[in-house]
Amino acid sequence: MTSTAEEVATGERRSASDVVGMVVLVACAAWSLITAAAHEGRPEGMLLAVLAVTAGYAAGRISGALLPVAAPCAAAAAGLGLAIATPGPQISLQLGHTGATAALLTLSCGAACCAAWAARASALRFTLRLAAAGTAVTAALLGSTTGVVTCTGVLLCSLATARVRRRALGLTGFAAGTALVTGATWAIGEDALPGGLTASLEGLLTEHRILLWHDALRMARADPGLGVGPGRYGPLSPTVAQSLLPDGKPHSAPLQQAAEQGLTGVALLAAAFCWVLYALLRSPRTTPIVLTAGAALTAVAAIASIGNALSFMTVTAGAGLLAGFATARPLAPAAPDGVRAGAGGSTVTSLGE
């Protein structure tokens, strides 16, 4: 009886997180249409991003339930292949492909680590973690310093989750880290940091990118309610007009939202990330899988805060896919991590752990 009641409660919580996600994604799509109508913008980019996340999340939930180990393994291999196929930093520094490469490698590392935690055999777990470490090596070979840092960080976080018992604390830390990176990006764009610190960061981020951020925030201040309209940052940015290889993007997801869709757009972007963390909190998967996916998605959010990663559908679909893997309920769950025995020998996942 106790086990049945807890399973019903768990199902209700998961249904609530699904409803929240549906509302947030619909709101993101609707707001892009509203701001586009107000300023004759082009909402296609945001609509495709919402579609990619939704499709990836649904595919992850389904395949993660049917093949909890094989599905993330296949996704990790596909992500690695796409990262290798993406133009490298030495070819397209100005076009933003470096962020996409780092994000794809990070998602591949996260998927491999999730598959390792889902595997029962220790030899298979070791092999999958070795494959995850290989993504960091691949990042180094591709010249992606960001990818090396994020892949290494995800792998270390995944290993450390073996000792974590309360997933809420870890997910709260991920949310705080994302807020810190976003706040720092905003402060740099506003020239709010001390001069010496700004100069040192300018050397890492490049002066061109910081000028793009200045333009984005000027547009946001001009119309904080609706922004200038989706897809209109490029034509209105003086820095883009003077660039030799313009891509029409400010190379920062939150600042692009602020410029093109106002503060409401920024709030909806934050709400989408918070929904993912909430879905992970209510996931029936074990705590190591949940926190591993959370670490990878947080790393991608950090990359998107200072780069152009979310402009690539492969990245947005991959992020949704990884979130789906980490929130799917396998048809035959048998992992011991984060699961305790219930009455009658049944297993009950501890959602607070």
Residue 349 has pLDDT above 50, yes or no: no
| pLDDT at residue number 11 | 52
Helix (H) / strand (E) containing 14: helix 2-39
Reported as a single tens digit per residue, the pLDDT across 73-132 is 999 999 999 998 876 444 344 434 578 999 999 999 999 999 999 999 999 999 999 999
Reported as a single tens digit per residue, the pLDDT across 53-73 is 999 999 999 999 999 999 999
Summary mean pLDDT of the chain: 86
Mean pLDDT of 226-241: 91
Q: Which two tokens stand for residue 150?
A: 């994020």
Using CA atoms, how far residue 272 sits from 77, 90, 112, 227, in Å, is 26, 33, 24, 19
Domain housing 100: 2-337
Query: Is 70 part of any domain?
Result: yes
Query: Is 345 part of any domain?
Result: no
Q: In terms of Cα–Cα distance, which of 106, 153, 147 is closest to 314? A: 106
Give the count of domains, the chain. Answer: 1
210 vs 193: CA distance, rounded Å: 13
Query: Is 51 part of any domain?
Result: yes
Neighbours of 41 (CB within 10 A): 24
Q: In terms of Cα–Cα distance, which of 249, 231, 302 is closest to 48? A: 231
Residue 98 CB contacts under 8 Å (≥ 6 apart), including other chains: 88, 89, 92, 144, 146, 307
Neighbours of 66 (CB within 10 A): 13
| pLDDT at residue number 240 | 87
Q: Which two tokens stand for residue 56?
A: 């990836």
Query: Is 284 part of any domain?
Result: yes
Percent share of the chain, pLDDT over 90: 68
| pLDDT band, very low/low/confident/very high, at 344 (cuts 50, 70, 90) | very low
Percent share of the chain, pLDDT over 70: 85
78 vs 105: CA distance, rounded Å: 10
Query: Is 351 part of any domain?
Result: no
At 308, the amino acid letter reads N
Query: Is 148 part of any domain?
Result: yes
181 vs 23: CA distance, rounded Å: 26
Residue 172 has pLDDT above 80, yes or no: yes
Reported as a single tens digit per residue, the pLDDT across 23-61 is 999 999 999 999 999 988 899 999 999 999 999 999 999
Model pTM score: 0.88
Q: Are 59 and 324 in contact (CB under 8 A)?
A: yes
Residue 315 has pLDDT above 60, yes or no: yes
Query: Is 344 part of any domain?
Result: no
The region of weakest confidence among 54-58, 94-98, 243-247, 276-280 is 94-98
> How many CA atoms does the CB half-sphere of 329 hold within 13 Å?
13
